[in-house]
Structure 1
Amino acid sequence: MSTVHVLAFITTKPGQRAAVLERFKANVPAVLAEDGCIAYEATIDAEGAGAIQTPAGADTFVVVEKWASLDALAAHGASAHMKAYAESAKDMVTARVIHVLSPS
């Protein structure tokens, strides 16, 4: 199986993005240590991009991930540290949209 890319759009309750990102960033070292994790990073709208972008918005961040396989991604989702992160942020998050993509 080839690598997979993930774009996870996380929308928080108004004004809660920074608090959720704080929890996210605390979890990053554990995720990067997972077998099959190639890249894992939270991103926000770039300032000054103007008309070339469709903004995600002030309460949204996008997690850009790359995994060695779908199996590695599945193990990531089932990991104890991801369950703990999700539990810690659940009352601050209003939506999650996950895109799992394969190289063309």
Structure 2
Amino acid sequence: MIHVIAVLTAKIGHRASLLAALQAIVEDVRQEPGCLEYQPVIDLSTSPVKFGADTLVVIEKWQDQAALDAHNAAPALTGFMDRAKHLIAQADVYLMRDA
């Protein structure tokens, strides 16, 4: 299994628009072969350590590298990137495996 933690920082004041664009593709991505989990999340208001007001995190789980590669080329993700790239200040993607 491959775990993906994607930390997306929106341009100042644009997190809501970025989150809306991302939420628009969630159900399509969840239907992709090999997708086990795909969920955008934001800081809990009571969290003592926060990513910040302009940041959201996407937590993903994929069956294998082939499924992740297919996702990265899929219309849902490529379309999202085309529509939302002007909203993103920084994107850090971490690929992990079970220990």
1:78 aligns with 2:73: yes
Partner of 2:83: 88
How many residues are treated as equivalent by the alignment?
99
Structure 2 unaligned blocks of 5 or more: none
- Please show how residues 1-104 of structure 1 align to structure 2 within 5 Å: 3-50=1-48, 53=49, 55-104=50-99
Deviation at 1:49, TM superposition (A): 2.1
**How far apart, CA to CA, are the structure 2 residues paired with 1:82 and 1:44?**
19
**How far apart, CA to CA, are the structure 1 residues paired with 2:47 and 2:51?**
12
Task: Give structure 1 regions of 4+ aligned residues with deviation exceeding 6 angstroms.
Answer: none
Deviation at 1:77, TM superposition (A): 0.4
Q: What are the superposed Cα offsets for residues 39-94 of structure 1, whole Å, 9 maximum, x if unpaired?
A: 000111111122xx3x1110000000000001100100001121110010011101
The Cα RMSD (Å) is 0.7
**Scaled by the length of structure 2, what TM-score is found?**
0.97
Residue type of the alignment partner of 2:31: A
**How far apart, CA to CA, are the structure 1 residues paired with 2:89 and 2:12?**
9
